[in-house]
Structure 1
Amino acid sequence: MPLSRILVFLFCLYPLGFWVVLGFVDRLTANPPEYLTRSSGEWALVGLCLVLAAPLAQRWLGWSWLLRHRRMLGLFAYFYAVLHVLAWALWEQGWSLSAMWADIVTRLFITVGVVAVVLLTPLALTSTNAWVRRLGRNWRRLHWLVYPAVALSLWHFWLVRAGKNDFADVWVYIVVFVVLLATRFVAIKTTGTSRRRL
């Protein structure tokens, strides 16, 4: 197994391992449910931003290793997004389907976040080589859903932080996403790379 694959795998597992260690030593902050819910959501965003950055990193920095492991990054991003949803379902809703549905239809930030995860779900399910072959050109069209999914994730993050009027780190993610989006479309327009990479 290539060293780069091992390192990317360890990086992806780092948040989960860190939470486990904090749990064992009883250091999961004063409010563990809130911390784990927030942290899992942010790590999902980190993974998604790395997925979007991979083609540009190869083009401008020569980091082909990041592109080679983009599938792993994407799957782990989805994994942390699902953990984010499960944390909300467990600690805020107590697994009550009626309470979850009421939250989804009445609270905008919940609605937006759930839609983002729904958009990511077919991308995770069709990430295998078999699905790439089965869908053909439609696979690339489908996986462009990552862009609205990330945009909705950022909107969700903004709405969550609006209650505390704390947007500092939200702006960091927004700027990163806008830069990645702009440079991606410039690359498509000038070189036609959309035919090869997302």
Structure 2
Amino acid sequence: MRLSKFSAVRLFAFVAMLTPGLWLILKFIQQDLGANPVEFLTHQTGKWTLIFLLTGLAISPLKNILGWKSPMKLRRMVGLYAFFYACLHLTIYWVFDQSLSFTYVWDDIRKRPYITIGFSAWLLLIPLAITSANYFRKRMGKNWIRLHKLAYLTALLGLIHYVWLIRADYAETFIYAAVLFLLLGYRLIGSPKLEFKIRRSQA
């Protein structure tokens, strides 16, 4: 059975976004994670969470500015991959850093601000992931749009957490910050203007 063109694109995107996780599993099996394996895994899963969050947020502006409609069909997958890597990030921290202890995790959340921020970002991702299905979008209507604007806050919290986590080599995080603030600027300034122009053209 032959795949349609878009199904092939969707399959390629699925495999491409899974590749960082498979790469980490391979390095784990080969025991090639450097001098501090837990730190390496934590940083990498955190980085890919942030990358997919920013990618998901960039899809709508790219559609509005450049007319790229096809990526919109992949936006839910991108968002779910962000949640997947966030869960992987949290699991690695819980299993290897905190020895499966909920007590240790709770103490960290209360006492270490960057853990508090990171955990808050993960909590915000949960309702976004649950309501990503078309069923919820149809049932919730405009409330769905309001809820999913939390993705911007999640990305901001995730960026702060990641910068605080790595504590070195800020050149890469500067790129993530620049992308996020461009997207926030578009949301606050560019998007309302574009919507106003569209309404006027349709009047």
- Same fold by TM-score, threshold 0.5 exceeded? yes
Residue from 126, 131, 136 that aligns with 1:131 = 136
Residues 54-93 of structure 1: matches in 2 within 5 Å? Answer: 54-93=59-98
Does the aligned pair in 1 maintain the 2:53–2:82 contact within 8 Å?
A: yes
Does the aligned pair in 2 maintain the 1:57–1:63 contact within 8 Å?
A: yes
Does the aligned pair in 1 maintain the 2:114–2:164 contact within 8 Å?
A: yes
**TM-score (norm. length: structure 1):** 0.90
Residues 1:10 and 2:21 aligned together? no
Residues 1:48 and 2:53 aligned together? yes
- Give the number of the structure whose alpha-carbon radius of gyration is greater: 2
Which range is displaced more, 32-41 or 153-162? 153-162
Question: Residues 24 and 91 from structure 1, CA distance in 2 versus in 1: closer, same or farther, beyond 3 angstroms?
Answer: closer
- How many percent of aligned residue pairs carry the same amino acid? 35
The equivalent residue for 1:192 is: 195
Unaligned runs of 5+ in 2: 199-203
Question: Of the two structures, which has the highest relative contact order with CA contacts closer than 8 Å and spacing of 6 or more?
Answer: 2
Alpha-carbon distance in 1 for matches of 2:164, 2:171: 13
The equivalent residue for 1:182 is: 185
Alpha-carbon distance in 2 for matches of 1:158, 1:19: 21
Q: Which amino acid aligns with 1:168?
A: A
- RMSD (Å), alpha carbons: 1.7
Deviation at 1:24? 3.3
Deviation at 1:66? 1.6
Alpha-carbon distance in 2 for matches of 1:189, 1:62: 17
Structure 1 runs (4+) deviating above 6 angstroms are: none
The equivalent residue for 1:106 is: 111
The equivalent residue for 2:201 is: none
Residues 157-168 of structure 1: matches in 2 within 5 Å? Answer: 157-162=162-167, 164=168, 166-168=169-171
